[in-house]
Amino acid sequence: MSARPRAARRAALTLTHLGAAGWVITDGEHVILLDPYLSRLRITGQFGTYTTPSVPGDVRRVFGPDDELVSDTEAVDAHVTRADVILHSHSHFNHTLDMPYIARKTGATVIGTESTTNLARAGGVPEAQLLSVRGGEDYDFGWFSVKVIPSLHSALNGKHFFDSRVVPRDFRGPRRLGDDVEGGTLAYLLRLRGYQILWFGSMNYIEREVSGLRPDVAMIAAARQRLELYDYTRRLMRALGMPRIVFATHWDEQSFPYGADQDARLREAAVFIKEVKAVSPRSRVILPRHFERHTLPPKRRQ
Ligand SMILES: [Zn+2]
C-alpha cells in the first residue's frame, strides 16, 4: 500500500538540509525545524561589506541595508508544510526571517533567545507559541527533550564582529539588513527516538559548554569563518568524544538561489571533512546537499 521505499519505513529519524543553517528533523510523527531559512535573499552591504556574488540568471531583487527584508513565502510553502517546534541559534535574518510566517502557518512552538522571540512577536506569532531561553535550560516535551547550550557567533569580518544588542520587547519592525541583530547565540542538544543530536547554527562554540556531551550526531557549522578559531574542528570533536556521525552544516553560499553552483563552497567544506577525519577517522562525515533526506535507523535502547 505504501509507495515509500523500505529504508524510509525503517527510519527512526529523517534529517533534511534546507541550506544555510536550516534543517528539518522528523520522526514521522513530529517535525522539528532548525533555523529554517528558505528565502535566500540576494543582498548587498551586509556588515558593511558583503554582497551576493552575481550568478548567471539570478534576476532577483537585491536587498540593501535600508530595505525592509521580506520573506519569500512561496519558497517556504514549497518546502515547509508542518512543524511542531522551531529552534533558533540566533536572530540574524538568515536564521529567523522566515520563522514568523512558518510559526503562524504551522502553529509551531518557537524556541530561541529573547531577541528571537521578540522578532516572532513583531511578526505576529501568538504569545502561547513562544519560549524564550538563555542557555542552560533542559526542557522535556515528552516526545523529545532539548538542552539549550550557551554558545558564540562566528568571528566574522576578521574577528571584528561583535554585537551585544538585543531586539527590544516593543520592536514592531520593519526588519532591515543594516540593523540585523544577533541577540546572542545558542546551540541545542536534541534527544529524540533514542538519538542525541547536537546542532550548531554558527561557526563557533564554548568548549566548556559542550565538553563531555556525547551526541550520536553532531551538526557542525563548517563555513570558512571557522578558520578564525584556534583548532576549531579538532577541539570540538575531542570535546564531544568523536561523534560517529557528523553533518557539515551552514556550508553554502546562502544568498544564492537554490540550484545555483555551490562548487566553491563545496570545496571549502571538503576541507572541513578532512579536518574531522584527521582527528576522528571512524566518524562518518556527511556534506548534505539541499533537500537531500538522510535517515537514521531505529535504535534498540534509549
Ligand atoms: Zn549570524
| Residue 153 alpha carbon to ligand 1 centre in Å | 6
Q: Is the pLDDT of residue 302 over 70?
A: no
The CA–CA distances, whole Å, from 90 to 28, 95, 99, 173, 193 equal 27, 7, 12, 17, 26
| Residue 121 alpha carbon to ligand 1 centre in Å | 20
List the 138-140 sheet strands across, edge first: 138-140, 145-151, 185-192, 195-199, 217-221, 245-249, 284-286
Q: Are 132 and 120 in contact (CB under 8 A)?
A: no
What pLDDT digit, counting tens, does each position of 13-54 carry? 999 999 999 999 999 999 999 999 999 999 998 766 778 888
- DSSP run (H or E) holding 75: helix 73-79
Residue written as grid cell 538563555: 134
pLDDT grade for 2, boundaries at 50, 70 and 90: very low
| Residue 166 alpha carbon to ligand 1 centre in Å | 13
Q: Average pLDDT over the chain, rounded to whole?
A: 94
The separation between the first and the last C-alpha atoms of the chain, rounded to the nearest angstrom, is 31
| Residue 139 alpha carbon to ligand 1 centre in Å | 24
The CA–CA distances, whole Å, from 282 to 151, 154, 241, 266, 278 equal 26, 27, 12, 22, 10
Domains and CATH numbers, the chain: 11-296 (3.60.15.10)
Strand pairing class (42-46; 50-51) = antiparallel
Q: Are 223 and 251 in contact (CB under 8 A)?
A: yes
Give 177's DSSP letter.
G
pLDDT grade for 6, boundaries at 50, 70 and 90: low
| Residue 46 alpha carbon to ligand 1 centre in Å | 11
Q: Is the pLDDT of residue 102 over 60?
A: yes
What pLDDT digit, counting tens, does each position of 195-250 carry? 999 999 999 999 999 999 999 999 999 999 999 999 999 999 999 999 999 999 99
Q: Where are the beta strands (DSSP E) in 105-223?
A: 109-112, 130-132, 138-140, 145-151, 185-192, 195-199, 217-221
For residues 112, 114, 117 and 118, what is the CA-based torsion angle, rounded to 10 degrees?
Answer: -160
d(CA 268, CA 177): 26
